[in-house]
Amino acid sequence: MGAEKPATRIALIDGNSFYCSCERAMNPAYENKPVVVLSNNDGCAIARTQEAKALGIRMGAPWYQIQHLAHQQGLVALSANFPLYGDLSDRMMSVIGQFSPHQEIYSIDESFLDLTGLPDSGRSIAQALRQRVRQWVGIPTCVGIGSSKTLAKLANHFAKRLPKLEGVCDLSGLSYPALLRAIRHVPVADVWGVGRRLAPQLQALRIHTAADLAQADLAMIQRRFSIVLAKTVQELRGISCLELGQLPEPRQQLLVSRSFGEAVTQLHELWPAIASFTSEAAEKLRTQQSLAGVLHVFARTSPFKSTAQHAGVATLSLPRPTQSTSALLTHAELGVKQFFKPGMAYSKAGVCLMDIHPSQQSPQQGSLFDDVFDTAPTADPVMQTIDLLNAKFGHHTVQLGSTLHDPTAKWHSLQRRLSPHRTTDWDQLIEVWH
């Protein structure tokens, strides 16, 4: 007889209040203080520490409603420093990946690991992982372990909310009755893959908790909802149905948009913003090795002001799918000129790439009037060179001329509380000794 297959063990590692923890890693003076990170233009809270939550600050709370807490309670509010968060995320994921050859990076602060077959207990692996990430990167984490990805998510939920677990919860070794007892108080809306939309429909069927869903009739769930939710039911029973992916699925749409720090009224003010967003979207397109066939560009005035309103939109089908920044810029400029109205106070703009296909697909039919006569879209060597230089020497080291802009332009987001780029800018490194 062959050796018995080891039981599946999946871990989900999650950075605690990740954006705030990144700020604390760079400035230990923020430890034990209430900290929030604000959205673009310092509008609302998008990350909160436990101390900030204890003050009653909810997710998405507008800054103007909570700014009094800075004086009354010592609240620290910081502008979002995404280059810092992205860099520390890369470092954290690299450390986490040392504990298993099979890793799926799920988001900027979450990662799945396959611990199946590893000799040590799940708890000992998790404790070692948490200690190493904390020491090497400075980010506190919680680890949930289960026999499926859905149960690992639930275990992580417990690890965050129950202090006695000390940041680690392992559900993988529980019997089925014990597992049901463990998840009987989890609202069904908190189950990964259910959410607020499906929860009312399940509650109407007397399915109120994760344990209720685990015991639901599988055929009925698939018939009335979907095969995806049926897989969630099996996952809650400890049957792994969602494989660990090595790479994220390519996105079918790529959107880059911003609210402006100040409204712009002139075409020469709006175009640099659109050009910058187009360049960023094209770079993301090349990163996932895709081509776009449709470009959607838009700008709108603020709906919260009593000034004249206008929502300008242009959707352009490209002559042939491309990942070239220069080609996309050409069409973006045409789109902006189509909808722009002089005098309108535009407060937000964006670019969305659609009809996205893998760049390795079959040859495309060209046009009789194409400047280039090959029909198989290949990587642009100029774009490749620019990407390589920017990857080596830093973002925006090399840019196309039409994307160059004044760093003090009105359309840039207001970031009055921005922390230094300690890990991504040579000029802002922490000075240890002088």
Asked if the 174-248 domain carries CATH number 1.10.150.20, the reply is yes
Q: Where are the domains of the chain?
A: 1-148+157-171, 174-248, 254-403
> What is this structure's pTM?
0.77
Q: Which tokens is 77 given?
A: 């509010």
Q: Which tokens is 151 given?
A: 């149960």
- Phi first, then psi: what are they for 176, rounded to 5°? -60, -45
Find out whether 170 and 155 touch, Cβ atoms under 8 Å.
yes
Fold of 1-148+157-171: Alpha-Beta Plaits (3.30.70)
- Measured from the Cβ of residue 365, the count of other Cβ atoms closer than 10 Å reads 6
- Residues ≥6 apart with Cβ < 8 Å to 409: 269, 272, 273
Q: Which tokens is 283 given?
A: 């770079």
Residue 143's SS3 state is: strand
Q: What is the DSSP letter of 209?
A: B
Asked if the 254-403 domain carries CATH number 3.30.1490.100, the reply is yes
Give residue for tokens 């079918």.
252
- Residues ≥6 apart with Cβ < 8 Å to 50: 17
pLDDT in tens, the chain (434 residues): 455 667 889 999 999 999 999 999 999 999 999 999 998 888 899 999 999 999 999 999 999 999 999 999 999 999 989 889 988 999 999 999 999 989 998 888 999 999 998 989 999 999 999 999 999 999 999 999 999 999 999 999 999 999 999 999 999 989 999 999 999 999 999 999 887 889 999 999 999 999 999 999 999 999 999 898 999 999 999 998 888 774 456 677 888 888 888 889 999 999 999 999 999 999 889 888 889 999 999 999 988 888 889 999 999 999 889 999 999 999 999 999 999 999 899 999 999 998 888 876 545 555 555 544 334 345 577 778 877 877 777 667 777 776 776 777 777 777 777 788 778 777 777 777 66
Fold match between 174-248 and 254-403? Answer: no
- Residues ≥6 apart with Cβ < 8 Å to 219: none
